Structure 1
Amino acid sequence: MHTLIAGPQQHTYLVARPGARRGVQLRAARYDELAAADAADALVPEWLVDAARKTWALDLAGRPVHGTVVVRARTRLNYSRATWELNKGCNFNCAMCYLAQRTFEGLPWSEKARLIDMFCEAGVLWLQFTGGEPTIDRDLLEAYAYAYERGMLLEILTNGSRLHRDDVLGTLMRMRPHKVTVSLYGASEEAADSLTRTRGSFRLVMKGLEAARAAGLPVEITLIITKHNEHEADAMRGIAREYADQFSEYGSISPTYDGQPDPLAAQSPCFLGGNTVFQGCPAGHTFFHVGPFGLATMCKIGRENPIDLMTTGVAGLLGLQALRHLPGLPPAGEGVPDREGTTGELLPTS
């Protein structure tokens, strides 16, 4: 199984390690050298041996590029990120959910595999599995493994209720995710189960967090703060500090993506606002979202003008880039600066 991923990202090239937060930037000549070494079954070049040792404490000396590094091909689309809603089904029934209907349906496995190939062809390096609840999808683990093998950094956005399962945990330990983001709905059974409208949900989430911590997985926690749990905000922060590498707070509840206002009833007035400063929007430029049946949109909330990738193939994404130039849409974010050999936090590119 590979150790590193190398490929183009915007105006530069990156080398990444699954499960690690740091990466290395390359210039085109270094990328071309690595691609040639991969094709020739040559050894990892000395400059990458040195970079891997400094960045991740890895010893790649004497190892072949092929099998050690997944060298991603150049692509004309050059997307960086995508989110994939495997299905809309969920084992919770959260009061603030932005999905109007949460049905258990989606593509068959053969089409999911074809969609993963399209993510690769589009240039996607960071792929987030979401839902609904992705861990209840019957094809999640197979899809995760295939996307990992194709050379993507993977995130699972989950309610955490099935992280303790041997099959889920075993897969994530063998093929480390870039991160697992767990939503926390309260600091007690009373508050959390009230928000999720699911008895026992808090116990399952905590069981999942315990298992993820024991396995050493990179976990981030999102605190979902509503009227149901606002009195427990400090206690929720305490749980997040105990179980996660990082955490964030989400209190600005949205209507359903088709405009129904029902989730807004859960909004806590005390936690409105507080969002980060707007720094540009990558939707349609370097990011896209795909729903359960392969419909691509610029983001997971704004789902107008979907493109059926299962009909158009990856070329359909050119239509998203055209839509980004419609009046009224926010500007794109900045790309990755081109600095040869630099290392730093490997975060999704705007």
Structure 2
Amino acid sequence: MHAVIASPQEQKYVVVRPGARAGMQIPSTHYRELADAVGAALSVPPWLVEAAQRAWGLNLASERSDRAVLVRPVTALAYSRATWEINLGCNFNCEHCYLELRPFDGLSLTQKLDMLAMLRDAGVLWLQITGGEPLIDPHFSDAYRHAYGMGMLIEILTNGSRLHQHVELLAEMPPHKVTISLYGATADTFESLTRTRGAFKNTIRGLDAAREAGLPIEITIIITKHSAHEVDQMRALAEQYTSTYDEFSNISPTYTGGPDPLAAQAPGYLDKSAVFTGCPAGHTFFHVDPHGRATMCKIGREHPINLMTEGLDGLTRLPEIADAQMLRTGGCSGCALSATCRVCRPLAKAYQAAKAPLNTYCQHGN
């Protein structure tokens, strides 16, 4: 199995290592040299031997290029990232979930593998596998192995409750990172939001197994009305497993405009600091749902492109579809404060459909 991956990355070329954060940008001449060396089963070029030792402590001096390096080809489509809902089914029933319905259905295994090959051929290097809960999908392991073998850097977005069942695979084929949601610091708090008995115990079991296996863990602390009183304890708990954690407190409606998740918002924890400055959704990355339908992102799901029937040709329409969804229409038409708006247009549309109070997403509510 490959130790490093050489890949086009939009207008650049990079060399990356599965499971490692550090990477390197290389000139096109080095990329072509690597491709030639792999094709001829030559030794790893000296410049990569030195760079790999410096970046990762990896010794490639005695390795053949075709065994150590996976060279991904230049593709006609310059997408570099994608998110994939492998399934919407979930073993938690979280109050704040942005998915209104969570049916357990989707593509067959053969279709999943075909769809992943399309993502590779679209240029996708960075793949986030999400759900629902991805680790309860019966095809997760096979799909993960397939994506890894094609040279994708994989992030798994999970509640962690089934992580202990997959650590052997993930230690063998390291993900770029495993991002685990933390909903509380105690079982009572955690399960008041997830509405699932045993959720806290199983997530901690997953975190323990991931730490023991040396997996690259990130934690997202979810702050809601249920957990706001435990924020300091949640931070301390996260720090037992990783130095890298984020905090999320802006609860949104469902992507179809359902208002129910907004009830989980913690008073006083609405973060208004980030100004929306644009997004390359639909241009350099895209989202795929469990049925193989591609959209600009998980929120902007209008006019989906069915990859299973249209193939990669359908993605050529995605930039235009994305641009149309970013236009400030409806209640945002002609807004004089748009230059300092904090939400994108698809998300604002979901808030408007949910009849959310203006102060939860719009400057006009202040």
Instruction: Give the TM-score normalised by the residue count of structure 2.
Output: 0.88
**Structure 2 residue corresponding to 1:296, chosen from 294, 297, 305:** 294
Compared CA separation, residues 98 and 32, structure 1 to 2 (3 A): same
Q: Return the offset for 1:64.
A: 1.1
Compared CA separation, residues 52 and 219, structure 1 to 2 (3 A): same
Say if 1:192 and 1:201, in contact at 8 Å, map to a contact too: yes
Q: Return the offset for 1:95.
A: 0.2
**Counterpart residue number, 1:251:** 249
Say if 1:184 and 1:222, in contact at 8 Å, map to a contact too: yes
**Counterpart residue number, 1:237:** 235
Instruction: Within 5 Å, give how 1:11-26 maps onto structure 2.
Output: 11-26=11-26
**Counterpart residue number, 2:78:** 78
**Counterpart residue number, 2:6:** 6
Query: Aligned AA for 2:137?
Result: D
Compared CA separation, residues 220 and 327, structure 1 to 2 (3 A): closer
**Counterpart residue number, 2:323:** 325
Q: Return the offset for 1:271.
A: 1.0
- Offset from partner CA, 1:107-133 (integer Å, 9 cap, x none): 000000001101100111110110000
Mapped to 2, the partners of 1:186 and 1:288 lie a distance apart of 31
Instruction: Within 5 Å, give how 1:95-244 maps onto structure 2.
Output: 95-165=95-165, 168-244=166-242
- Offset from partner CA, 1:80-131 (integer Å, 9 cap, x none): 1100001100000000001111111010000000011011001111101100
Say whether residues 1:271 and 2:308 are aligned partners: no
Say if 2:39 and 2:66, in contact at 8 Å, map to a contact too: yes
Specify the SS of the correspondent of 2:191: helix
Say if 2:300 and 2:325, in contact at 8 Å, map to a contact too: no
Compared CA separation, residues 145 and 197, structure 1 to 2 (3 A): same
Mapped to 1, the partners of 2:327 and 2:134 lie a distance apart of 30
Specify the SS of the correspondent of 2:84: strand
**Counterpart residue number, 1:336:** none
Say if 2:89 and 2:131, in contact at 8 Å, map to a contact too: yes
**Counterpart residue number, 1:69:** 69
More helix by share: 2
Query: Aligned AA for 2:179?
Result: T
Q: Return the offset for 1:329.
A: 4.4
Q: Return the offset for 1:273.
A: 1.4
**Counterpart residue number, 1:348:** none
Q: Return the offset for 1:279.
A: 4.4
Higher RCO (CA < 8 A, seq sep 6+): 1
Mapped to 1, the partners of 2:243 and 2:118 lie a distance apart of 31
Mapped to 1, the partners of 2:324 and 2:272 lie a distance apart of 28
Query: Aligned AA for 1:15?
Result: V
Say if 2:82 and 2:286, in contact at 8 Å, map to a contact too: yes
Specify the SS of the correspondent of 2:232: helix
Query: Aligned AA for 1:147?
Result: A
Specify the SS of the correspondent of 2:318: helix
* Larger gyration radius, structure 1 or structure 2: 2
Q: Return the offset for 1:12.
A: 1.0
Query: Aligned AA for 1:155?
Result: E
Say if 1:185 and 1:224, in contact at 8 Å, map to a contact too: yes
Mapped to 2, the partners of 1:328 and 1:274 lie a distance apart of 20
Query: Aligned AA for 2:116?
Result: I
Compared CA separation, residues 69 and 139, structure 1 to 2 (3 A): same
Query: Aligned AA for 1:272?
Result: L
Compared CA separation, residues 274 and 241, structure 1 to 2 (3 A): farther
Instruction: Give the TM-score normalised by the residue count of structure 1.
Output: 0.91
Count of residue pairs the alignment pairs up? 329
Query: Aligned AA for 2:109?
Result: W
Query: Aligned AA for 2:33?
Result: E
Say if 2:184 and 2:234, in contact at 8 Å, map to a contact too: yes
Specify the SS of the correspondent of 1:51: helix
Query: Aligned AA for 1:162?
Result: R
- Offset from partner CA, 1:295-330 (integer Å, 9 cap, x none): 000001111111000011112111112223337449
Mapped to 2, the partners of 1:24 and 1:279 lie a distance apart of 27
Mapped to 1, the partners of 2:261 and 2:148 lie a distance apart of 34
Q: Return the offset for 1:277.
A: 4.5
Compared CA separation, residues 287 and 187, structure 1 to 2 (3 A): same
Runs of at least 5 residues in structure 1 that lack an aligned partner in the other structure: 332-350
Compared CA separation, residues 268 and 162, structure 1 to 2 (3 A): same
Specify the SS of the correspondent of 2:240: helix
Say if 1:218 and 1:245, in contact at 8 Å, map to a contact too: no
Q: Which moved more, 1:91-100 or 1:245-254?
A: 245-254
Mapped to 2, the partners of 1:327 and 1:129 lie a distance apart of 24
Mapped to 2, the partners of 1:130 and 1:247 lie a distance apart of 18
Mapped to 1, the partners of 2:187 and 2:167 lie a distance apart of 24
- Offset from partner CA, 1:209-238 (integer Å, 9 cap, x none): 111111111100001111111100111111
